[in-house]
Structure 1
Amino acid sequence: MSAKTVKRAALLAVLLGITLLFIPLLTDWKTENEQKALEKEWSALNHSYQNPFTLPEVKAIKADKTDKEEKKEPEEIDKTIAIEEGVIGKITIEKINLETMVVPGVAQKDLKNAVGWMTSTSFPGEPGNSVMAGHRSHTYGQFFHRLNEVTIGDSIRIETTSGKIVYRVYEKIIVNPEDLSVLNASKEEELTLITCEPLYSDKYRLIIKAERVH
């Protein structure tokens, strides 16, 4: 092998090393920007909700409303707008220093930059089981990265178009991915958080269940 070839190989190795170092930084930067964009949009939406003079304008720009939709309560209209805009609120768990936006949907594209709400379950603040999922991998940020540290009695705060809701954790379990019982409906207002277990593996599911206390 010639000296020239060795130099080229060494240069390529250095460039590859630099690239591998910058990929996590670039991913974190992109995720942080996505979160900021979602939070900015959420703040703008909340400003509209809190201003009774703005709300009719928001309704007016939504075309082709059906009679059924026009008869919705203001709170129901707010929820519909939030879902359409792609950000339904914010989840905060002080125990693990978590504060992140929540989007409708739990597909990969939804969970890449936020925690996702399973739209087939109850909306936060409504009777029933509201289910949210999030990644633990650094590749997708640290949304539920420390969820395993949450214990019974800890508080979880959800902020939606209806205001702030406080839940208290009453159960923490690990189940198989095929166990859908954690999605079962409830007569009371409760919150279910789902992530993979153990870290960086999808062998099991870590489940945190909480009941509304405020």
Structure 2
Amino acid sequence: MRIGKWVLAFSSLIAGAALIFYPIVQSQKIDAKQSELLNTLAAQRKESNSALDAIFQNGPPVDSSVTAETATSSAIAQLTIPGIEANMPVVNGASLEDMKYAAGRMKGTAPIGSVGNAAVAAHRSFTEGQFFNRLDEVKDGDQVIVQTADETYIYIVEQTTRVLPNDVSVLEPSGESSELTLITCDPMINPTHRLIVKAKLAEKPTSDALSDDANGGTQ
């Protein structure tokens, strides 16, 4: 009888420890994967800059049909929202698998930086500051900086709304402008709606400003 109680107490202790440490381990795993994706993107930026230098010196290569977006096999961009200290990689696709470690550009929407509506979705996450955890704190006028392998885009937030999950009208472009739509679940627990943040392309930042914002938004 005494042994049975000891086994039960030990099992309860192990279960309690698992509940405590599982979120920590998961958060560390996500942080490590995000760093890997961002480091890969940084290497791609370096390669892209070297390729541009070669083009300026020697002219374009014979086959220049591969774009920066189609050439990337992992992260296609880095998305930073300085106002909420958010910083994450962006991949092509918004499936559950795609969004385990990154935000996902929804297929069928415009490429980032082009005319049209580029939609990027991410989990709300229960970890403070991770993914779109604090997206509801974004205000009109806030910057959203998206840096691809060879371009940097600054979007200015214009509107925040909440819609039902089946409302796909938020993916449609409005006119000839370059738009960015950020999408996540709302509320964080038992979500019934989607939180939508709309932004429009403003201007390209200076390298110094980008560096300061990126450093400030690092998790």
Residue 200 (structure 1) shift: 2.4
Does residue 182 of structure 2 align to residue 204 of structure 1?
no
Contact 1:125 1:162 in 2 (8 A): no
Indicate the structure whose relative CO is greater, using CA pairs within 8 Å and at least 6 residues apart.
2
* Letter of the 2:21 counterpart: F
Root mean square deviation of aligned Cα: 2.1
* Letter of the 2:119 counterpart: V
* Letter of the 1:117 counterpart: R
Match of 1:59 in 2: none
Query: Once the two structures are superposed, what CA deviation does each residue of 1:102-147 show, in whole Å capped at 9, x if it has no partner?
Result: 1111000111111111121111111100000010122798200000
Does residue 87 of structure 2 align to residue 99 of structure 1?
yes
Does residue 122 of structure 2 align to residue 134 of structure 1?
yes
Contact 1:28 1:141 in 2 (8 A): no
Long gaps (5+) in structure 1: 57-66
CA distance in structure 1 between the aligned counterparts of 2:136 and 2:97, rounded to whole angstroms: 24
* Letter of the 1:211 counterpart: K
Long gaps (5+) in structure 2: 56-61, 204-219
CA distance in structure 2 between the aligned counterparts of 1:177 and 1:130, rounded to whole angstroms: 18
When residues 55 and 100 of structure 1 are mapped into structure 2, their CA distance, relative to the original with a 3 A threshold, is: farther
Match of 1:190 in 2: 179
Partner of 1:185, secondary structure, is coil
Number of residue equivalences: 196
When residues 40 and 184 of structure 1 are mapped into structure 2, their CA distance, relative to the original with a 3 A threshold, is: same
Match of 1:159 in 2: 147
Match of 1:23 in 2: 22
CA distance in structure 2 between the aligned counterparts of 1:110 and 1:140, rounded to whole angstroms: 21
Contact 2:79 2:146 in 1 (8 A): yes
Residue 44 (structure 1) shift: 1.1
